[in-house]
């Protein structure tokens, strides 16, 4: 196998065979493929695309580049979810313990931030001691005893994807449907799932900005996953504004704790969490219908059991035993806080959501290069939702920064990301559609 010949064929728009794809991915996993070759392959796929058969072959090759877990003997149905990423999208942090409290086993293999989007692992690494890379023994123990474990890809799970994932982040090839499909599903299929729910974001803060693009990706994911034997459905959800009222790693962990404590009722975030919870419970057979599933999920939150599961998971994976009771004792605050204020009276009518995510990256809360370190302290919170009525000088967000210079620069930029109009915008649904 000559890597450059495979790259050339895809560059020229040829259809690759399953054998060619498998050989290239095997070389990537063994580090016989250089970063330059991997980047060229990703760019060729980005521009030329892949057929459905090529995408299936790529997904299987990446899945089979490492260990494929089996959960024989586990009493709970094994299920998971995945989001294609957005700004303030911390749903996984809350959904996993809610599902564990409802009787599912959720072995969640998550990733780091890509481009302007935050990564679940980066958020969890805000918590001192939290081990996102446990060995398989500990991973299985936590899933079995607690019901959920949110971790990263170990060296044994889809190693080819781990390498390609980092390269896509810094080569502007994130938005490729075949690469997204193979990346997401290789990890999920390697985790040994029985069912899967996908959250495909659409809007100006998503990788897929148009409904048509998002539906194309959702159908690709659903068809490939179901074809591989995993019951899968996808929700299309709005990302034309930050989902949570916080964007930034430690800030989103705090937001998660507030959510589990019942302080985010009635928000767009709650709508998405509950919609995905319902899908997971019905697919896995834990609930017979949507109404029963919704009741179970709400009870897991109101009873405090979801919070308890989150606390136990954090401690079992190396975090503080009292983290949920005393997060301020463990989450280091940013040195500088600065309010972003409304420039006039009116209603928040639109948001440049991608720009908000990139502002967090500029603060140090994301990566410009694969090797960059994350500053977990920084970010933006207090983000008001679209439709909120504001007065001139009223705070619409707060920037958390490591220097005053950073805070002043980003605060002035964020103020420009929001359009203030005389009339409130028409309300838009956060769950746009479903594909199964």
Q: Would you please indicate which residues are annotated as catalytic (active-site) residues?
A: 80-83, 120, 168, 183, 187-188
Distance CA(241)–CA(264), nearest Å, equals 16
Q: How far is CA 399 from CA 250, 269, 368, in A?
A: 13, 21, 20
Paired tokens of 280: 């997971």
SS (H, E, C) 362-415: HHHHCCCCCCCCCCCCCEEECCCCCCCEECCCCEEEEEEECCHHHHHHHHHHHH
Closest by CA to 168, choosing from 14, 288, 306, 62, is 62
Distance CA(214)–CA(85), nearest Å, equals 12
Identify the H or E element spanning 34.
none
DSSP 274-293: HHHHHHHHHHHTSSSSHHHH
Identify the H or E element spanning 241.
none
The contacts of residue 96 (CB under 8 Å, 6+ apart) are 106, 108, 148, 150, 310, 313
The CA radius of gyration of the chain, in Å to the nearest whole number, is: 21
Identify the H or E element spanning 31.
none
Q: How many CA atoms lie within 13 A of 249 on its CB side?
A: 29
Asked if residues 110 and 150 have their Cβ atoms less than 8 Å apart, the reply is yes
């Amino acid at each position: 196998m000559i890597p450059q010949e495979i790259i050339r064929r895809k560059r020229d728009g040829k259809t690759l065979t399953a054998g060619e794809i498998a050989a290239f991915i095997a070389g990537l996993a063994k580090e016989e493929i250089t970063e330059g070759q991997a980047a060229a392959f990703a760019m060729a796929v980005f521009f030329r695309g892949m057929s459905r058969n090529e995408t299936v072959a790529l997904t299987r090759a990446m899945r089979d580049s490492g260990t494929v877990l089996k959960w024989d003997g586990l009493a709970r149905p094994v299920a998971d979810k995945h989001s294609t990423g957005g700004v303030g999208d911390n749903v996984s942090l809350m959904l996993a313990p809610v599902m564990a409290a409802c009787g599912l086993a959720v072995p969640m293999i998550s990733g780091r931030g890509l481009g302007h989007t935050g990564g679940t692992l980066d958020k969890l690494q805000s918590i001192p001691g939290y081990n996102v890379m446990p060995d398989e023994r500990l991973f299985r123990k936590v899933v079995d005893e607690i019901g959920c474990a949110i971790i990263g890809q170990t060296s044994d799970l889809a190693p080819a994807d781990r390498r390609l994932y980092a390269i896509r982040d810094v080569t502007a090839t994130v938005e490729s449907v075949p690469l997204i499909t193979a990346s997401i599903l290789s990890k999920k299929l390697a985790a040994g799932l029985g069912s899967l729910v996908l959250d495909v974001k659409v809007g100006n803060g998503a990788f897929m900005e148009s409904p048509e693009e998002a539906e194309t990706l959702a159908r690709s994911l659903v068809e490939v996953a179901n074809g591989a034997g995993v019951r899968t459905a996808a929700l299309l959800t709005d990302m034309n504004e930050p989902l949570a009222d916080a964007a930034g790693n430690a800030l989103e962990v705090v937001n998660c704790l507030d959510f589990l404590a019942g302080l985010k009722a009635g928000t767009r975030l709650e709508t998405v969490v509950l919609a995905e919870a319902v899908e997971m419970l019905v697919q896995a057979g834990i609930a017979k219908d949507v109404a029963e599933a919704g009741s179970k999920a709400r009870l897991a939150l109101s009873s405090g059991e979801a919070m308890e599961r989150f606390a136990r998971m954090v401690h079992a994976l190396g975090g503080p035993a009292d983290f949920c009771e005393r997060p301020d004792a463990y989450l280091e605050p940013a040195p500088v806080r600065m309010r972003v204020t409304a420039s006039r009276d009116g209603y928040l009518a639109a948001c440049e959501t991608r720009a908000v995510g990139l502002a967090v990256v500029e603060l140090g809360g994301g990566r410009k290069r694969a090797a960059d370190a994350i500053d977990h302290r920084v970010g933006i919170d207090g983000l008001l939702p679209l439709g909120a009525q504001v007065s001139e000088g009223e705070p619409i967000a707060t920037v958390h920064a490591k220097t005053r210079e950073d805070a002043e620069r980003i605060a002035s930029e964020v103020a420009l990301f929001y359009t203030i109009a005389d009339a409130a915008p028409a309300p838009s649904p956060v769950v746009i559609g479903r594909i199964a």
